[in-house]
Structure 1
Amino acid sequence: MARKIGFYGVIAYFLYGLFFYWYLFYFADTSLAFEYEGSRADPATFLNSRELMLSEGYSKIRDLLFFLSTPFEWLFYLFIMLLGFSNAFKKWAEQSSKFKFIQISIYLIWLSFFSFIATLPLSYISYSLSKSYNISTQSFGGWMKDELIDFWINYGTMLIIVPVLYWLINKSRKRWWLYAWLISIPFTLFMMFLQPVVIDPLYNDFYPLKNKELEAKILDLADKANIPAEHVFEVNMSEKTNALNAYVNGIGSNSRIVLWDTTLNQLNENEILFIMAHEMGHYVEKHIYFGIAGYLLLSLVGLYLAARIMEQVISRWGNVFKIPAVNDIRSLPLFLMIISMLLFISSPFSNFVSRYQESRADKYAIELTKDTEAAIQTFQELTRAGRSQVNPPLLVKIFRYGHPTMLERISYLEEYEIKNRSK
């Protein structure tokens, strides 16, 4: 039975990969409708032929890697169970210590290590791709350092969550998912509070914006929007990428407005102010807090479904997967696989909500700055720097895009400009 499940798993993954290869390289049409040709949303008007070719080539390969990587994670967890690795991890942990917490930590380090090794080739391909298309400027050593930081942060997070999770399962087989969700609320808020000041600085150096004249204009914009900001931060992303970005993260007193130095180097002042106005739109419309509420609601549904699915799978195929019960640590790969699947299935919905919020932030930014020229040029430069498609395929938009497409964003600005000319 184990061989049969493994065989069908590999075949399903192979057919899935073939479908997306065919879809992205042969079926999907990224050309613009007639009414958009020649507009400022048409990439032919602001990208040269080489840039157009690079954007199309890079986007197709990057999107294929995205669609291959998540199901590969499911396949990895499936074989960890079928081949008895989860069983071996538990045996090694029990032989190393009689203390439960130490046993869990040893089990987790083995599972995390095998997961890291299994997914490293895909991560390296993604890194090499962005390097070859002149998006990544990071050295191999710098990239590997970030990968190792990811590894230890993920391991540390798991070391906090997993012992609590299995303690709850042992205490209540029927309602552990609810108690786990209740505990996740303060934990999520605490991690968001720590993110800007503890986790982010592990990857990059953050410092107050050096251009004080620009900072004064950004803070003046924030004052008009009634945002209590005292500093704007910049981060040295040029050591890693040529892409552009800016964001607001954190909650409470730890919230930060952050600009990548690539954005500062490649955009003019008006374009930067538009980006900042966009980020302020998220703050004004409380998107961070709506996002937290949405995440917590989805996690409640996800934990409930995971609990029900785990019970069904273990009762039917527990012997095949070598999992005697839900409360056994050997069920962790199954739990992680189910959560990953649920996240993938729910991503079209979460991306739809995110695109709506981003479009609202765009609307707020243009209403605040009234500078459509700077706004359009900003989106054109973002497209050029990120080798992005203006009009991505439908499935890519649904599963990958948390922002409106550049076609939608620039077209909205052109319509806004026309309406305001007529006033």
Structure 2
Amino acid sequence: MTPRWWAAATLVALLAALALVTALRVPWGSSPAPRADQVAALRELPADAVARGRAFHAALRPGMYGGMVIGLLAALVLGLTPFGAALVRLAGRPFGGHWLAEALLGGLLVVFAGELVGLPFAAWRQSVVRRYGLSTQSWGGWAVDLLKAYAIGAVLGAIVLVGFYTVTHFAPRWWWAFGAAGAAGLTVLLTFVFPVLIEPVFNKFTPLAPGRLRTNLIAMADRDGVPVSDVLVADASRRTRAVNAYVSGLGPTRRIVVYDTLLREAPPAEVESVVAHELGHARDGDVVTGTLIGALGGAAGVCALYLVGSWTGLLRRAGVESLAEPRAVALLLAIGAVAGLAGGPLQNAVSRRIEARADRHALALTRDPDTFATMQARLSQVNLGDPDPNPVEYALFASHPSTVQRMAAARAWSRSAR
């Protein structure tokens, strides 16, 4: 068979494996959250808090949609016209147009151009969260965080660009196979290194002081069969008033991380309820599930890109002869932007199912639905959430069940327990 046939067969196999993993590891059964209970939960929430949360999201909405539209248009302009290829050529000109210079410098220049277009919308969002009091960060601190994110993105981008175009240069007919393996491997690697190398760049972590809460959290993790190495406090208050907690790492690096804002805003029982939800993710292997889905999806994406590369009309629009040449990086990013936008709702639907399962796990572990519901109400109020969002926006963008759905699920669990 030709490389194209092998790529097509591999793509079919990867998609089948992706469908199998999703079917087996994602809970697709309906979660009990009757609408009547959701309406009752909404009535329990303070009307002024609900109004403030909805006003906050209304203020964010123009920047969010504007950023999405402008970002997509920028990606399409760079990728579907010769302009992107011209930028890559310009970056490589001081080095004689060497393919490695075009791959690294040209690729980073195209990525930076896209980030630059989105910068005003990021600043818009920051101005809104500052105006509503959710952000505690100065503009200088925000800029530093932005530069840190750019630096990390540049390092990761450089590794991907150099690796990818080295493979395409030396294996022009079979680069899809090496690229698919590399995409899957990089996804797995980032799962391990993110908690150790990336998280400390943005937050400082200190052990939770010895006391009853620390003892209860570790005991709860042991009782749940999810042993943790430590309980850490993240200094989230240096940039936000939002509250949260999570379980980070795998195996010996697994630890419970609690925002310092959560410790200030919530009583210990509610902190335990939040951590119980996060333990559910560890207990059910949701990090492994996400890594498998990401690795298979990334590998399948590379195979699909190779097959799309035979579309001469697309290549002609971009002013390139092949996807394997560095000057096609803008076209690759444009295809990725469209695919990401199209696949986002499906990814969010999967995420909501997984989060609902973690909620059920927290209820079963703590056996305290009242505290769970109270904590969900607190999360919505402190984080300025919309407790009952528009159904269309919810389907498109929500990665978690809504507040009223989670409170309704607690009511349903309480009835079933009785």
TM-score with structure 2 length normalisation?
A: 0.86
Question: 1:76 and 2:74 equivalent?
Answer: yes
Any conservation in 2 of the 1:76–1:115 contact (CA below 8 Å)?
yes
Question: 1:362 and 2:365 equivalent?
Answer: no
Corresponding position of 1:266: 265
How far is 1:322 from its partner? 2.1
Q: Which amino acid aligns with 1:139?
A: S
Which whole-Å CA distance do the structure 1 matches of 2:207 and 2:96 have between them? Answer: 48
Q: Determine what percentage of the aligned residue pairs are the same residue.
A: 22
Q: Identify the structure with bigger relative contact order (alpha carbons < 8 Å, sequence gap 6+).
A: 2
What does residue range 23-422 of structure 1 map to in structure 2 within 5 Å? 35-36=36-37, 39=40, 41-42=41-42, 44-49=43-48, 51-81=49-79, 82=81, 84-96=83-95, 100-210=99-209, 212-312=211-311, 315-421=312-418
Q: Deviations over 1:287-342 (max 9, x none)?
A: 11111111122223322223333431xx1143442223222212111111111221
Distance 1:166 1:109, change over 3 A: closer
Q: Deviations over 1:155-203 (max 9, x none)?
A: 1111101122122223444542332121223322222211112111111
Any conservation in 1 of the 2:232–2:255 contact (CA below 8 Å)?
yes
How far is 1:227 from its partner? 1.5
Q: Which amino acid aligns with 2:397?
A: R
Which whole-Å CA distance do the structure 2 matches of 1:396 and 1:144 have between them? Answer: 29
Q: Which amino acid aligns with 1:411?
A: A
Corresponding position of 2:9: none
The alignment covers a number of residue pairs equal to 385
Which whole-Å CA distance do the structure 1 matches of 2:94 and 2:85 have between them? Answer: 14
How far is 1:284 from its partner? 1.0
Which whole-Å CA distance do the structure 2 matches of 1:60 and 1:304 have between them? Answer: 40
How far is 1:272 from its partner? 0.4
Distance 1:252 1:334, change over 3 A: farther
Residue segments in structure 2 that go unaligned for 5+ positions in a row: 1-33
Which whole-Å CA distance do the structure 2 matches of 1:160 and 1:286 have between them? Answer: 29
Which whole-Å CA distance do the structure 1 matches of 2:305 and 2:388 have between them? Answer: 35
Moved more, 150-159 or 69-78: 69-78
Which whole-Å CA distance do the structure 2 matches of 1:34 and 1:375 have between them? Answer: 18
Q: Which amino acid aligns with 2:378?
A: E
How far is 1:36 from its partner? 4.3
Moved more, 213-222 or 244-253: 244-253
Q: Which amino acid aligns with 2:112?
A: F
Any conservation in 1 of the 2:165–2:326 contact (CA below 8 Å)?
yes
Distance 1:340 1:212, change over 3 A: farther
Which whole-Å CA distance do the structure 2 matches of 1:246 and 1:208 have between them? Answer: 14
Which whole-Å CA distance do the structure 2 matches of 1:243 and 1:255 have between them? Answer: 23
Q: Secondary structure at the match of 1:259?
A: strand
Which whole-Å CA distance do the structure 1 matches of 2:261 and 2:413 have between them? Answer: 28
Q: Which amino acid aligns with 2:72?
A: W
Which whole-Å CA distance do the structure 2 matches of 1:343 and 1:177 have between them? Answer: 19
Which whole-Å CA distance do the structure 2 matches of 1:171 and 1:235 have between them? Answer: 45
Residue segments in structure 1 that go unaligned for 5+ positions in a row: 1-32
For the aligned residue pairs, the C-alpha RMSD in angstroms reads 2.3
Which whole-Å CA distance do the structure 1 matches of 2:38 and 2:343 have between them? Answer: 34
Distance 1:308 1:64, change over 3 A: farther
Any conservation in 1 of the 2:88–2:326 contact (CA below 8 Å)?
no
How far is 1:211 from its partner? 5.0
Which whole-Å CA distance do the structure 2 matches of 1:153 and 1:128 have between them? Answer: 24
Which whole-Å CA distance do the structure 1 matches of 2:57 and 2:415 have between them? Answer: 31
Corresponding position of 1:6: none
Which whole-Å CA distance do the structure 1 matches of 2:54 and 2:269 have between them? Answer: 29
How far is 1:121 from its partner? 0.1
Corresponding position of 2:20: none
TM-score with structure 1 length normalisation?
A: 0.85
Which whole-Å CA distance do the structure 2 matches of 1:97 and 1:265 have between them? Answer: 58
Distance 1:74 1:330, change over 3 A: farther
How far is 1:97 from its partner? 5.6
Q: Which amino acid aligns with 1:208?
A: P
Q: Secondary structure at the match of 1:326?
A: coil
